[in-house]
Amino acid sequence: MATKKEVYVTYEKLYDLSWQCIDRIAVQNKQKPITFKGRRLGITLLVIAQILIGIIHTVLGLMFLGSELAIAAQSSIIYSIYTTAFGLLTLVFAILIWKGNKLGWSGTIVLLLFVIVVDMLTVLNLPSIPGIPRFAAVGEIPYSLFVIFYLLLP
């Protein structure tokens, strides 16, 4: 008959063996993330969204700028320049993110933090960039926070 120590040693060996099996199964069943052209799906969707936002802001900013130059309204010209610059920077940073450049990541975060501050000032009726529509500011804040939190994930 086995002693208590032998039973305990056998139990420890079985326990270790079972965890080794579980670890092997976990490693074998570990699914790789969904990718597109070598990039994770989340980064792909983020870059697509940022490119669309960049194109929309650039086109609208240039349209506003063209119409405002004809009218010569100074406050709207400032907003037009801000919108165009935001659109162009968003496009540049989205392309850099796609290429895996850290400047794209950090530039996007800094740009969106600036947008959050400006939009919060607009929502609170405090001095900000003249001409920013409040409804746009309310929509841009949650989107900007979402992108920043996504980029800060490990």
Tell me the C-alpha distance between 127 and 133, whole Å.
13
Which residue range is the domain that position 26 belongs to? Answer: 1-30
List Cβ neighbours of 29 (8 Å cut-off, separation of 6 or more): none
Shared domain check, 145 and 86: yes
Q: What is residue 1's predicted lDDT score, i.e. its pLDDT?
A: 61
Shared domain check, 43 and 20: no
- Average the pLDDT over 93-122 and give the result: 93
pTM over 0.85: no
At residue 101, does pLDDT exceed 80? Answer: yes
Average pLDDT, the chain: 81
Shared domain check, 70 and 10: no
Instruction: Kindly compute the dihedral angle of the four CA atoms of residues 104, 109, 110, 111, in this order, to the nearest 10 degrees.
Output: 80
Contact 123, 137 (CB under 8 A): yes
Task: Tell me which residue has tokens 């060996």.
Answer: 13
